Amino acid sequence: MGKVLVIDDSSFQRKIISGVLTQNGYNVVLTENGKEGLERALQEKPDLIFTDLLMPEYDGFWLLEQLQSHDLSIPVIVLTSDIQKTTEQRCRGLGAVTILNKPVNKEQVISAVRTILGNP
């Protein structure tokens, strides 16, 4: 089974994403901000990371930068309400493989994960 780290300060979004992933056979690790997310990524070595962009205690941009500086080649899906092209370009430039607009739905989540990891 694949391990997925979900980093989002919204308990609602964490619940939606972790629920669909768990139902589809993935192991899920949850954190609320970029600082905790980086710590867990270093400890857990997940197969995939979902991260929100705007969070307290270090945002998603910071997290993407830190993953690069630690040479962690973990695929990252960014969750954001900011649909500006410049935001998407910045995320992709920092290594994000997919950007999903919030609020996400179950179909978007599982489709993105299966595209990256395949079926569990």
CATH 3.40.50.2300 given to domain 3-117 = yes
Per-residue confidence (pLDDT) for residue 79, from 0 to 100: 93
For residue 101, give the H/E element and its range.
strand 96-101
pTM of the predicted model over 0.85: yes
For residue 60, give the H/E element and its range.
helix 60-69
Query: Token pair of 109, please?
Result: 């989540």
Per-residue confidence (pLDDT) for residue 100, from 0 to 100: 94
Whole-angstrom distance, CA of residue 10 vs CA of residue 52: 9
> What is the mean pLDDT of each successive set of 10 residues along the chain, which is 120 residues long?
93 93 95 95 96 92 95 94 89 95 90 87
Under 8 Å between Cβ of 65 and 94 = yes
